[in-house]
Amino acid sequence: MLNKSTSMRILFFLATLFPALLHGQINRSATELAKENIRSYLTDKIFKQAPYQPVSYGELKPEKERNVDARWSIVHKFNITETEIEAEKKFSIQKPYNFIFYLDDRMEVIRARSYFVSE
């Protein structure tokens, strides 16, 4: 059986660990919701007919700009497959895109901004 001081240490450890685990789960859930909403925004509003392939997502960050309705931002890199015709032949080309998405409190996309990265 555990003595009183060991029991208190275990209880204290669990009490400090639980909020950290809970916070991590909330952040993971918010990030997953943001990713789902971004995918739907891209496929339903911007690139309706083109196949979308996600490449990477940045970290979900609180937005610190003043006088803005955006509460969160996330960087997203993806490819869109486009068909080009040259000399009566069709070619499928994957074009890379880089966007910053701005989201509200419910993780809905309120605006997006593209940017160019030279490689």
- DSSP classification of residue 82: E
Q: Does residue 27 carry a pLDDT above 70?
A: no
The residue range of the domain holding 73 is 4-114
Domain for residue 119, yes or no? no
Average pLDDT over residues 20-33: 69
Secondary structure of residue 106 in the 3-state scheme: coil
Query: Residue 20 — pLDDT band, cuts 50, 70, 90?
Result: low
Domain for residue 95, yes or no? yes
Domain for residue 36, yes or no? yes
pLDDT value at residue 87? 84
Q: Does residue 85 carry a pLDDT above 60?
A: yes
Domain for residue 15, yes or no? yes
> How many C-beta atoms surround the C-beta of residue 35 within 10 A?
17
Domain for residue 56, yes or no? yes
Is pLDDT larger for residue 33 or for residue 115? 33
Query: What sections of the chain are H helices per DSSP?
Result: 4-41
Domain count, the chain: 1
